[in-house]
Amino acid sequence: MLNHCRALDLTDDKGFLCGKTLADLGADVIKIERPGGDPSRGIGGFWHDTPDPEKSLYWFAYNSNKRGITLNIESAEGREIFKKLVRTADFVIESFPPGYMERLGLDYSSLSGINKGIIMASITPFGTEEPYRDYKDSDIVVMGMSGTLYQTGETDGPPVHISTPQACLHAGLDAAVGVMIAYHYREMTGEGQHVDVSMQQSAAWFQANAVPTWELMERNLKRSGAFRAGMSKDVGQRQVWPCRDGYVFFNVIGGRTGAKSLSALVEWMNEDGGATDFLLNMDWDNFDMFTVTKEEMDSISEPVGEFFRSHTRQELLAGAVPRGVSIGPLSSMEDLLNDECLRERNFWKEIEHPELGASLTYPREFVKSTETDCSTRFRAPLIGEHNAEVYNKIGLSQQELTELKEAGII
């Protein structure tokens, strides 16, 4: 859909997903790295556990469908080349510290002087305002400042972090949305603009019902571990249940939201010989998790827990689908690769890495369009892989490229 658009992607891991999203929608996204490669290529894991800037799985995951060039924008000559590229581009995406692009004379107002329609997205840890503008980040720090961390973990223990980085993904996606809104405006007016994304804000944006709960009840939603938060204060309501080969997530919910699913589970348990009279006679339509007693909860949890313990993740998912029971077995990575639904929807795709002599399985696409193919088409770029083809197009000769390389500019 965006085949006529070009993005210059200067981001490190704070912003990869922005360019990736635009690239999957068809844009020509050119990753611009410093000569020698971006430091984010050092993020593990690695192909066969071999640390190597050309083997970072993190890099692979979020930079497919992008081309790659090297350029030292800190040198005067590099900046001139960058400006030439900006003339050919629709979007510039960057995640340098606040003020960095301005010091180089490459901030939005400078770039819009070269290309009025340019849309620039800046992703920073906390935004460009005080007091946190220059604060140093790390995913755990940003997730802590956003509210998500406080609410995750066991009630009587410390907050627990999601150990695979998240804030950069929220921010990268927001940048993609912002760029597209700005693009819609540009198509009507010819004018570009600046999109300012803060990782803290992007991660804080969705907090379920925590904010209204604070405002209306002056209650901070607390960590509740394997139990469900925000329901009856006195009766624990289990959400994480052990099953035969792992864990399954299930919420006991009555009323309009959950009665159908809960009745279907009880019926299933009955076929299995595990439903108690208490469960069979329960009026789930009028069952309320806010007023449930401990005795009632125990009478539910014991047989339900026993049922889960006697089944595997796979059995539980296979049984839940036709019956319409809302349960979530915790998928391992292997489960995901073998998942029936993902397979049938053709979600996985083999992408070739010729230099590794291998094809790797990637998520194919985040959207299925009846008009255009949004698939992952090719692997992430090697360092400077597309220097020649990109720079030749803006009029640099092979001779000049050799000189620029010797001067450490590309």
Q: At its nearest, how many Å lie between other proteins and the CB of residue 56?
A: 9
Q: At its nearest, how many Å lie between other proteins and the CB of residue 202?
A: 5
Give the rounded distance of the alpha carbon of 184 from its chain centre: 24
Question: Do 93 and 9 contact (CB within 8 A), yes or no?
Answer: yes
Residue (69 or 221) nearer to other proteins, CB: 221
Amino acid sitting at position 118: I
For residue 61, give Cα distances in angstroms to 363, 384, 390: 9, 18, 23
Collect all residues with Cβ–Cβ distance below 8 Å to 162 and sequence separation of at least 6.
143, 148, 152
Question: Do 31 and 68 contact (CB within 8 A), yes or no?
Answer: yes
Q: Tell me the pairing of strands 66-70 and 91-94.
A: unpaired
Give phi and psi for 225, each to the nearest 5.
55, -130
Q: Tell me the pairing of strands 66-70 and 348-353.
A: unpaired
Cβ contacts of 42-47, under 8 Å, gap ≥ 24: 43/13, 47/356
Residue (332 or 392) nearer to other proteins, CB: 332
Report DSSP state, residue 56: B
Q: At its nearest, how many Å lie between other proteins and the CB of residue 21?
A: 6
Residue (87 or 368) nearer to other proteins, CB: 368
Q: At its nearest, how many Å lie between other proteins and the CB of residue 130?
A: 8
Token output for 298? 């125990």
Strand intervals (E) in 99-225: 119-124, 194-198
Residue (262 or 390) nearer to other proteins, CB: 262
Amino acid sitting at position 383: I
Q: At its nearest, how many Å lie between other proteins and the CB of residue 33?
A: 19
Q: At its nearest, how many Å lie between other proteins and the CB of residue 74?
A: 21
Residue (101 or 327) nearer to other proteins, CB: 327
Residue (246 or 403) nearer to other proteins, CB: 246
